């Protein structure tokens, strides 16, 4: 069968990137779905915050990054961590608090960190990582390094003080940092509109920092990718920070404990019609990519998730000696002589 043209006319993204973005979204979808299954089996410990439905945001921003760019995530950070190339096994292992986990079970699902992949941490105190991302960007600026710091957070985070301090700080110092608000309409269980003075929690605040209001369709990875590219380019060129609000929706509850009864009737179904992976499959076909290629990605990813699951189930618990390790830089915890 003849191959359709890889690039449609006027397309700026291209096949290779699109396939990468597709695979990333499938990785997130499958890994998160597996995480959900595993905690139904009581194999995921503690809490867990899934990004099912929000995959396009993570995929778009990560795919547009260069190696060396830095991600700062929240407790809802599995997606962003996977999107930077961290292995599914390590992520699931951490959720299962096994020794093969990304932090060997010491951090848990809310704190995924992989320095070698540029995932500079997942922070579970709302808003705290926005100033931290500013600091990383300040380092880049000071050292003349060209990496961008990208900071992901939710709509609810726009109402905490640290958000405000970070935005002002980033602008006055013209830092190469990109703030990404994933507006999924809810904080934990409370609709964001009930507790926010403006309609667009991030975009309507941009002007308070002299920034442009940017709203992106968070269900369309291409749109996200383009917005990310523009913001990174601006940051790398010394143009300072951006604040981008992505409209999206989470399919699962806020965390493992949440049955999400607060949803408006029909809301979930309406959003599922614009499922990011569905949208992206159509996009790929539209740009001439074969169904087979797509199916192959799906199969491959599922296989990786299955393998990872087995490895995690077989992995040992972390050893007790980890408890007193790495409090301080000497590797130990001695607060006295």
Partner 1 sequence: MAELTYRDAVTRGIAQEMKRDPDVVFLGEDIAAAGGVFKTTVGLLEEFGPLRVRDTPISEQAILGAAMGAAMTGLKPIAEIMFSDFIAVCFNYLANEFSKHRYISNGQTKCPLVVRTANGGGARFGAQHSQSVENWCMMIPGLKVVAPSSPTDVVGLLAASVRDPDPVIFLEHKSLYPIKGEVPDGEIVDTIGTAKILRSGRDATITALALMVPRALEAAEKLKEEHGIDCEVIDVRSLVPLDTQTILGSVGRTHRLFTVEENPRLCGWGAEIVSIVADEAFYDLDGPPVRITTPHLPLPASDVLEDATIPSVDRIVDRVKRSLNA
Residues 165-204 that bind its own copies (CB under 8 A): 165, 167-168, 171-172, 194-198, 204
For residue 189, the minimal CB distance to Mg ion (Å) is 10
| Ordered DSSP codes for 85-152 | T--HHHHHHHHTT-TTSTTTTSS-GGG--BGGGTEEEEE-STTTHHHHHHHHHHHHHHHT----EEEE
Task: For residue 76, report the phi and psi dihedrals to the nearest 5 degrees.
Answer: -85, 60
Element (H, E) at 275: none
Q: Which of 32, 55, 69, 155 binds ligand TPP (CB under 6 A)?
A: 155
Contact status: 209 vs its own copies (CB under 8 A)? yes
Q: Which is nearer to partner 1, 103 or 231 (CB)?
A: 103
28 token code pair = 């997130």
Pairing verdict, β 242-247 and 214-217: parallel
Q: CA 201 → CA 141, 225, 299, 305, distances in Å?
A: 28, 21, 38, 35
Contact status: 207 vs its own copies (CB under 8 A)? yes
Of residues 234 through 273, those in contact with its own copies by CB under 8 A are: none
CA distance 222 to 224: 5
Considering CB distances under 5 to 8 angstroms, the limit depending on partner class, which of partner 1, ligand TPP, its own copies, none binds residue 184?
ligand TPP
For residue 56, the minimal CB distance to partner 1 (Å) is 24
For residue 235, the 8-state DSSP code is: H
Contact status: 257 vs ligand TPP (CB under 6 A)? no
Element (H, E) at 261: none
Contact status: 275 vs Mg ion (CB under 5 A)? no
Of residues 88 through 127, those in contact with ligand TPP by CB under 6 A are: 124-126
> CA neighbours within 13 Å on the CB side: how many for 107?
25
Q: Given CA atoms 16, 22, 25, 30 in this order, what sign does their dihedral have?
A: negative
For residue 210, the minimal CB distance to Mg ion (Å) is 20
Contact status: 218 vs ligand TPP (CB under 6 A)? no
For residue 264, the minimal CB distance to its own copies (Å) is 19
Contact call for residues 247 and 218 (beta carbons, < 8 A) = yes
Considering CB distances under 5 to 8 angstroms, the limit depending on partner class, which of Mg ion, ligand TPP, its own copies, none binds residue 167?
its own copies
Q: Which of 184, 219, 242, 309 binds Mg ion (CB under 5 A)?
A: 184
Contact status: 154 vs Mg ion (CB under 5 A)? yes
Of residues 180 through 209, those in contact with ligand TPP by CB under 6 A are: 182, 184, 186-188
Of residues 120 through 149, those in contact with its own copies by CB under 8 A are: none
Considering only the stretches 22-30, 90-98, 178-186, 219-227, report the one whose residues sit in contact with ligand TPP under the rule CB under 6 A.
178-186
Comparing CA positions, the residue from 76, 77, 58 lying closest to residue 20 is 58
Beta bridge partners of 215: 245
Q: Which residues bind its own copies (CB under 8 A)?
A: 159-165, 167-168, 171-172, 194-198, 204-205, 207-211
Write out the residues near Mg ion by the rule CB under 5 A. Answer: 154-156, 184
């Amino acid at each position: 069968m003849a191959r359709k043209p890889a690039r449609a006319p006027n397309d700026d993204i291209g096949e290779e990137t699109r396939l990468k973005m597709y695979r990333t979204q499938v990785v997130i979808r499958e890994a998160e779905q597996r995480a959900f299954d595993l905690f139904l089996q009581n194999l995921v410990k503690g809490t867990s915050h899934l990004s099912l439905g929000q995959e396009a945001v993570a995929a778009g921003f990560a795919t547009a990054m260069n190696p060396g760019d830095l991600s700062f995530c929240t407790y809802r950070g599995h997606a962003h961590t996977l999107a930077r190339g961290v292995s599914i096994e390590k992520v699931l292992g951490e959720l299962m608090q096994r020794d093969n986990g990304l932090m060997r079970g010491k951090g848990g699902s809310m704190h995924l960190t992989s320095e070698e992949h540029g995932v500079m941490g997942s922070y579970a105190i709302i808003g705290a990582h926005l100033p931290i991302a500013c600091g990383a960007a300040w380092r880049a600026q000071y050292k003349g390094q060209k990496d961008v710091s990208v900071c992901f957070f939710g709509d609810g985070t726009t109402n905490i003080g640290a958000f405000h301090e970070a935005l002002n700080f980033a602008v006055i110092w013209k830092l190469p940092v990109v703030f990404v608000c994933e507006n999924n309409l809810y904080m934990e269980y409370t609709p964001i509109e009930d507790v926010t003075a403006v309609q667009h929690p991030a975009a309507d605040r941009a002007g308070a920092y002299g920034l442009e209001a940017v709203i992106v369709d968070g269900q369309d990875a291409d749109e996200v990718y383009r917005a990310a590219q523009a913001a990174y380019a601006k940051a790398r060129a010394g143009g300072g920070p951006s604040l981008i609000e992505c409209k999206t929706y989470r399919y699962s509850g806020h965390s493992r404990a949440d049955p999400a009864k607060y949803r408006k009737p029909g809301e979930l179904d309406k959003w599922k019609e614009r499922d990011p992976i569905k949208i992206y499959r159509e996009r790929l076909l539209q740009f001439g990519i074969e169904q087979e290629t797509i199916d192959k990605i799906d199969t491959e990813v599922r296989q990786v998730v299955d393998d990872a699951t087995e490895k995690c189930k077989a992995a040992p618990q972390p050893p007790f000696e980890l408890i007193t390790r790495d409090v301080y830089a000497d590797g130990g915890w001695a607060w006295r002589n």
